[in-house]
Amino acid sequence: MPGWLADAFGTGIQQRALAEILLLSVACGPLGVWVVSFRQAYAAESLAHAMLPGLVIAVLIGAPLLAGGVGGLLVAAGAMALAARDERLGPDTAVAIAVTGLFGLGTMLALVPDVPTRLQEVLFGDLLGVTRSDVLAAAALAVGVAGALGALHRRLTAAAFDARPGPAAPLVLVLLAITTAVAVQGLGNLLVVALLIAPATAALAVTRRLVPALLLAAVFAMVAGLAGLLISFHAGVAAGASVALSAVILHLLCRLCALCTERLRRGASGAGGVAMVGRP
């Protein structure tokens, strides 16, 4: 193994961080493809932000972040459902109001005097601080989400293709909520969305087949995770942020690649075609 790789993953802390991000990738990548397919990226962003009060309360009372995340999500879902009952607002506006309110509440709680230092973890995650039980939770998540997506595959495919969400879209939202709650320890509630959406959009940019897109999204999430941890170690920057940025860069590269391929294809099919001559 090359030195730059061995150095970055030489300790138990670093190995746990790597295991955590690889396991989260198994869940986040494919789930992200469905989130994007059902056009729920906004919901993903909103859920992650809206759980802040629950996470902050967990920090303040010393409870596990996972418990705080789940509690926060339940409150967020309730607030969104309540706001959406006002038909004059429309669902997006209702979600925006509920999320801003909850994010504001979370920030207010976070800025009370004697803020515990763990608060930074809540916002930005702490991949290098994950415990053995966090890794076990990520493993359970990977198995659970992969299994659920496998079982629901045909139902999700038909619903997304026909743009008729039916009961499938809420199922994706439930998986999204669980994934967000588990992933928040490593990536923080501000950055977790990057590992969900960016690898998925990157995969969808380079393949026109669904199953390859689902697998590729997991691989891209893993690549972003590995690259992020390496950058974090060698450049001495925050791990969660490095992973998020790596995922976004991967997305940009894949979009660029798709754009170039499209241009080349059009150029090839246009060669020898009719030239349009405009008036001077």
Partner 1 sequence: MSHLDVHRLSGGYVAGTPAIEDVSFTAGPREIVGVLGPNGGGKSTLLHGILGELPVRSGQVTAVPAAHVRQLDRTRLDFPVTALDVALMGAYGRTPWYRRLARADRAAALAALDRVDLADRAEDAFGTLSGGQRQRVLLARALVQDVELLLLDEPLSGVDAVSAARIEALLQELRDEGRTILFAGHDINQARRFDRVLCLHHRQIAYGPPAEVLTPEVLAATYGSELIVLEGGGLAVAVDHHAH
- Binding residues for partner 1, rule: CB under 8 A, are 37, 151-155, 157-158, 160-163, 204, 207-210, 213
Question: Smaller CB distance to partner 1: residue 101 or 144?
Answer: 144
DSSP labels, 174-206 = HHHHHHHHHHHHHHHHHHHHHHHHHHHHHHHHH
* Residue 187 CB, nearest approach to partner 1 (Å): 26
Question: Smaller CB distance to partner 1: residue 37 or 246?
Answer: 37
* Residue 237 CB, nearest approach to partner 1 (Å): 34
* Residue 210 CB, nearest approach to partner 1 (Å): 5
* Residue 259 CB, nearest approach to partner 1 (Å): 15
Question: Smaller CB distance to partner 1: residue 104 or 166?
Answer: 166
* Residue 34 CB, nearest approach to partner 1 (Å): 11
| CA distances (Å), origin 67, targets 81, 217, 244 | 21, 28, 24
* Residue 213 CB, nearest approach to partner 1 (Å): 5
CA distance 125 to 240: 6
Q: Are 48 and 180 in contact (CB under 8 A)?
A: yes
Q: Which residues have C-beta within 8 Å of that of residue 17, sequence separation ≥ 6?
A: 127, 128, 130, 186, 229, 239
DSSP labels, 16-59 = HHHHHHHHHHHHHHHHHHHHHHTT-HHHHHHHHHHTHHHHHHHH
Question: Smaller CB distance to partner 1: residue 220 or 233?
Answer: 220
* Residue 87 CB, nearest approach to partner 1 (Å): 11
- Residue identified by tokens 């809206």 is 50
Question: Smaller CB distance to partner 1: residue 164 or 234?
Answer: 164
Long-range contacts of 140-143 (CB under 8 A, 24+ apart): 141/23, 141/24, 141/27, 141/178, 141/179, 141/182, 141/183, 142/23, 142/24, 142/26, 142/27
Question: Smaller CB distance to partner 1: residue 132 or 266?
Answer: 266
| CA distances (Å), origin 227, targets 39, 108, 135, 153 | 28, 34, 19, 30
Question: Smaller CB distance to partner 1: residue 132 or 265?
Answer: 265
